[in-house]
Amino acid sequence: MSDLAKGARIVVAMSGGVDSSVTAALLKRQGYDVVGVTLQLYPGAVAKKGACCAGQDIYDAKRVADALTIPHYVLDYESRFRKNVIQDFADSYAKGETPIPCVRCNEKVKFADLLDTAREFGAQALATGHYVRRVMGAGGAELHAAADPARDQSYFLFATTQAQLDYLRFPLGEMEKPQVRAIAAELGLVNAAKPDSQDICFVPEGRYSDIVKKLRPDATRPGEIVDQSGAVLGRHDGIVHFTIGQRKGLGLSGNAEPLFVLSLDAARARVVVGPRSALSASAILLRDINWLAASDAPFDCAVKVRSMRPPVEARVTPLPNGAARVELLAAEDAVAPGQACVFYSVGHGRVLGGGWIARAEPAQQAAE
């Protein structure tokens, strides 16, 4: 934070959790003019252990702000969140995809609307409790993975633009979670021992199909479960209940080998299943690429195709209209449309960009 003068105003996005609370505390301790902002994203918030952004969270954020003696504001972002995150979530499932609402929330709400609001407050920066690093390079601010690989959240921030990154700050990027909790305990913050959020914040009891059914009832249309040749093996009660790589809950038995969901055909309400070997993909087509280190030519890097998977070596070829093709040096299983593929510099952890998975090519097809 040395690039900002002491006394500079910084807005901190305070979710009510320990990470954003310690972010505010650290900045206040360093002599900045800190303003806390909490977003009210939806009515009827879930108040259960492990939930994120529950109704209690707004109260917790307010208590922390009071303890730190900083101003605190609650902003009503319900309509924006409903349009850009919840509706997109339902639409994606209805198309047979596996969405990542946390990326959309960062992209469309926190780092778009909230960033504008921070400027209206006269702030010189917006800070969050994400575990990522902002590193100044020759070309400006760069996004890097967190120092602690176990806490790294860079995958969820791949859609951050260069202009946003110039304004954002991430004070926890060099820290580990035990350090953060220790600071919270030292300061006597009410949420020092609060559990980390684990569920999608707007999905009660983890039943995401209830949300989709309400907004996109066509996604719960019954259909057929078929094998790769199109032979009907069974029936299902909506593609919304399935995702690529799923094995359990298919309702199929008596097969020579275990069957997995290979693809979802939303137009025909079909679930295509097959052996585990058919899940292997060696190439991926991406759409809506966000570049943080632009390149017109093919380049080698490491990529992540799921948030919890380690990066794997790959070659990325930029294509027209914001697309790209990724060739994986080692095949990956269960690459699902709707998930993200994020590019990292090999050995350095810098986020070079990323995009949304449109299609995965089976390993044998990519080799032909």
The full 3-state SS of the chain, as one line of letters, equals CCCCCCCCEEEEECCCCHHHHHHHHHHHHCCCEEEEEEEECCCCCCCCCCCCCCHHHHHHHHHHHHHHCCCEEEEECHHHHHHHHHHHHHHHHHCCCCCCHHHHHHHHHHCCHHHHHHHHCCCCEEECCCCEEEEEECCEEEEEECCCCCCCCHHHHCCCCHHHHHHEECCCCCCCHHHHHHHHHHHCCCCCCCCCCCCCCCCHHHCHHHHHHHHCHHHHCCEEEECCCCCEEEEECCHHHCCCCCCCCCCCCCCCCCCEEEEEECCCCEEEEECHHHHEEEEEEEEEEEECCCCCCCEEEEEECCCCCCCEEEEEEEECCCEEEEEEEEEEECCCCCCEEEEECCCCCEEEEEEEEEEEEEHHHHHC
Active site residues: 105, 201
